């Protein structure tokens, strides 16, 4: 190992997030621990996370290709410049932690793979004191332990979204300053005099910088005005008028918006000009409920022929997943999608009270009904008046079974997208065929897999891909809304507020 180069020790999460990560470290050397190789071997057939398994297999194939191309002794390192076409000029090493395990405190079990990686990184620091050794991991606890042991630790930066994208996750509706506010209201009122108006142009910005896709509101109740910026160039802007979904006349499937954020979210969900809708926010803000309401309304209007609902099969807190549930695949999926069924029950109540069409029941892709119990039960959310069976148009599907398909005339609703990796989101979005719309929702402050963070999860990656200048800027067919106001109940809102305070509290 050359003295003037850094040594990057990679843990398993890096290879999962980016199977081509070995070529991302420039002139520096890369070390793959034996413990990580064993973890990749265990993940290659992970039925609960098939796309994680796919990434693991792809990483292993990359290693096999590199080893096959090496004519020298592998122990002296594999040169990366040829296989990477010059992207990386360092060497790849495989090292065991066996001789370094004594360097760890007794409390750290020597049989745990993470601790073996730590021991290796610590040993390399001692073996090469003239070189900077860096532990690269997506696991926050592993990084914490590394730093405590005096090892420099970093997140894999190629797998992280930009700070601008993180800011977008917290972006809210823009309330226009007074001068522009008055000008917009005046221009709109003057233009619409007796004429229905969906878009209009403003020629004065008063120093305010607007962005394509930005949601703005002007005026005050009861004459509050809502719009989305659709073009912004050469000192002018094109604004799309947004209906006030708080009004009963604009209700969707019997559901009205309860706040301004929901007004814009519902507009994105219903707009024919939007192909990808992303809703972000804490529990109880209406992300899932409103998305299902919009999906049901669009089905009723005949805009789409079916809805497919999917989510990551990841248990809260990293516990046991659906594989531990009783029954066959259909039964396991039904239990795992309980939140969807709860929302459909509530939608049935709404439509019954407002005289609308009852929501469609959920089924698996094989047509088996997911609701257990009597078909004539009054508690069954999937039956219309008089207990008549409703045509199954809402399907629940596992992510791995969507791979390889082309989905036409379909709404695909991906809930809990913060628990997906970027490859899974890419796999899903590339299934879109003719007349297909995607709804993604999630909360990046509530991530369950230990190898994901706020900056490298699938939801954040989707926002990055469809908004960053490097990819062509904000896509005109994207609708993105950050929902912050909890509307589920007084208790839920207070719980979110109090636990948020505790999680950000400064230690005394």
* In the chain, domain spans: 7-159, 174-241, 282-503
- Contact of 216 with 210, CB cutoff 8 Å: yes
Considering only residues 387 and 180, tell me which one the structure prediction assigns the higher pLDDT: 180
Question: Does residue 487 have a pLDDT over 50?
Answer: yes
Question: Does residue 320 have a pLDDT over 70?
Answer: no
Give me 476's structure tokens.
């005109």
Considering only residues 265 and 213, tell me which one the structure prediction assigns the higher pLDDT: 265
pLDDT band at 25 (very low <50, low <70, confident <90, very high): very high
> Class assignment of domain 174-241?
mainly beta
**Alpha helices for 417-489 (secondary structure H):** 422-429, 458-467
Would 174-241 and 282-503 be classified into the same CATH topology? Answer: no
pLDDT of residue 366: 41
Q: Report percent pLDDT > 70 for the chain.
A: 83
Helices 34-43 and 113-127 cross at an angle (nearest 10°) of: 150
pLDDT band at 156 (very low <50, low <70, confident <90, very high): confident
pLDDT of residue 383: 36
For residue range 418-436, list pLDDT tens digits in order. 999 888 899 899 999 999 9
- Contact of 392 with 307, CB cutoff 8 Å: no
Average pLDDT over residues 265-293: 94
Location of structure tokens 């509290």 = 505
Question: Does residue 46 have a pLDDT over 50?
Answer: yes
Q: What's the CA gap between 411 and 408, in Å, rounded?
A: 9
pTM of the full predicted structure? 0.73
Domain at 282-503: CATH architecture = 3-Layer(aba) Sandwich (3.40)
- Contact of 289 with 486, CB cutoff 8 Å: no
Instruction: Using DSSP, state whether 287 is helix, strand or coil.
Output: helix
CB atoms within 10 A of CB 431: 17
pLDDT of residue 454: 85
Which superfamily, per CATH, for 7-159?
5'-nuclease (3.40.50.1010)
* C-alpha gyration radius of the chain: 26
pLDDT of residue 328: 62
**Top mean-pLDDT range of 158-167, 211-220, 277-286:** 277-286
Helices 329-336 and 338-354 cross at an angle (nearest 10°) of: 60
Question: Does residue 213 have a pLDDT over 80?
Answer: yes
Element holding 153 (H helix, E strand): strand 152-154
Checking DSSP bridges between strand 276-280 and strand 236-241, what pairing results, if any?
A: unpaired
Instruction: Using DSSP, state whether 501 is helix, strand or coil.
Output: helix
Least confidently predicted of 207-211, 245-249, 451-455: 451-455
Question: Does residue 98 have a pLDDT over 50?
Answer: yes
Q: Which are the contacts of 137, defined by CB distance < 8 A and separation ≥ 6?
A: 10, 11, 13, 14, 117, 143, 146, 153, 155, 156
Average pLDDT over residues 253-260: 92
Q: What's the CA gap between 282 and 442, in Å, rounded?
A: 8
CB atoms within 10 A of CB 344: 24
For residue range 324-375, list pLDDT tens digits in order. 455 665 666 666 667 777 888 888 877 665 555 555 545 544 444 333 333 3
**Alpha helices for 18-138 (secondary structure H):** 34-43, 50-68, 113-127
Least confidently predicted of 72-76, 130-134, 343-347: 343-347
Average pLDDT over residues 29-49: 89
């Amino acid at each position: 190992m050359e003295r003037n180069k850094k040594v990057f020790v990679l843990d398993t999460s890096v290879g999962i997030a980016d199977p081509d990560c070995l070529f991302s470290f420039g002139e520096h050397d890369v070390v793959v621990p034996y413990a990580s190789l064993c973890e990749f071997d265990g993940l290659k057939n992970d039925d609960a996370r098939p796309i994680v398994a796919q990434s693991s297999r792809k990483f292993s194939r990359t290693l096999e290709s590199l080893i096959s191309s090496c004519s020298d002794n592998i122990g002296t390192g594999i040169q990366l410049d040829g296989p990477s076409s010059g992207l990386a000029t360092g060497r790849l090493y495989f090292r065991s932690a066996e001789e370094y395990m004594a360097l760890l405190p007794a409390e750290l079990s020597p049989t745990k793979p993470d601790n073996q990686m730590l021991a290796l990184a610590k040993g390399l620091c001692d073996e090469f004191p003239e070189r900077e050794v860096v532990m690269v991991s997506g696991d926050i606890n592993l990084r914490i332990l590394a730093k405590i042991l005096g090892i420099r630790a970093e997140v894999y930066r190629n797998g992280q979204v930009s700070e601008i994208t993180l800011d977008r996750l917290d972006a809210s509706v823009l309330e226009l300053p007074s001068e522009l506010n008055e000008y917009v209201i005046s221009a709109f009122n003057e233009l619409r005099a007796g004429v229905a108006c969906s878009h209009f142009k403003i020629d004065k910005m008063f120093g305010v910088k607007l962005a394509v896709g930005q949601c703005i509101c002007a005026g005050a109740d009861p004459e509050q005005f809502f719009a989305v910026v659709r073009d912004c160039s050469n000192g002018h802007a094109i604004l799309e008028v947004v209906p006030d979904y708080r009004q009963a006349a604009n209700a969707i499937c019997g559901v009205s918006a309860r706040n301004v954020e929901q007004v814009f979210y519902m507009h994105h969900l219903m707009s024919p000009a939007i192909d990808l809708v992303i809703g972000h926010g804490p529990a109880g803000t209406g992300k899932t409920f409103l998305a299902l309401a919009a999906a049901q309304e669009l089905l009723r209007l005949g805009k789409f022929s079916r809805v497919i609902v999917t989510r990551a099969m990841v248990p809260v807190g990293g516990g046991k997943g659906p594989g531990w549930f009783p029954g066959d695949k259909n039964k396991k999926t039904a239990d795992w999608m309980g939140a969807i069924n709860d929302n459909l029950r509530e939608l049935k109540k709404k439509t019954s009270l407002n005289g609308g069409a009852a929501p469609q029941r959920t089924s698996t892709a094989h047509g088996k009904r997911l609701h257990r119990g009597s078909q004539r039960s009054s508690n069954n959310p999937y039956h219309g008046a008089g207990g008549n069976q409703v045509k199954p148009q809402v399907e629940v599907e596992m992510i791995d079974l969507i791979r390889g398909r082309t989905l036409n005339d379909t709404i695909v609703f991906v809930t809990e997208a913060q628990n997906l990796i970027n490859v899974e989101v890419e796999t899903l979005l590339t299934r879109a065929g003719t007349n297909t719309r995607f709804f993604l929702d999630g909360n990046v402050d509530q991530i369950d897999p230990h190898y994901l963070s706020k900056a490298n999860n699938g939801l954040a990656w989707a926002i990055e891909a469809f908004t960053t200048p490097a990819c062509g800027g904000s896509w005109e067919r994207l609708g993105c809304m950050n929902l912050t106001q909890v509307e589920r109940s007084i208790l839920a809102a207070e719980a979110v507020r109090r636990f948020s305070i505790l999680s950000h509290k400064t230690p005394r």
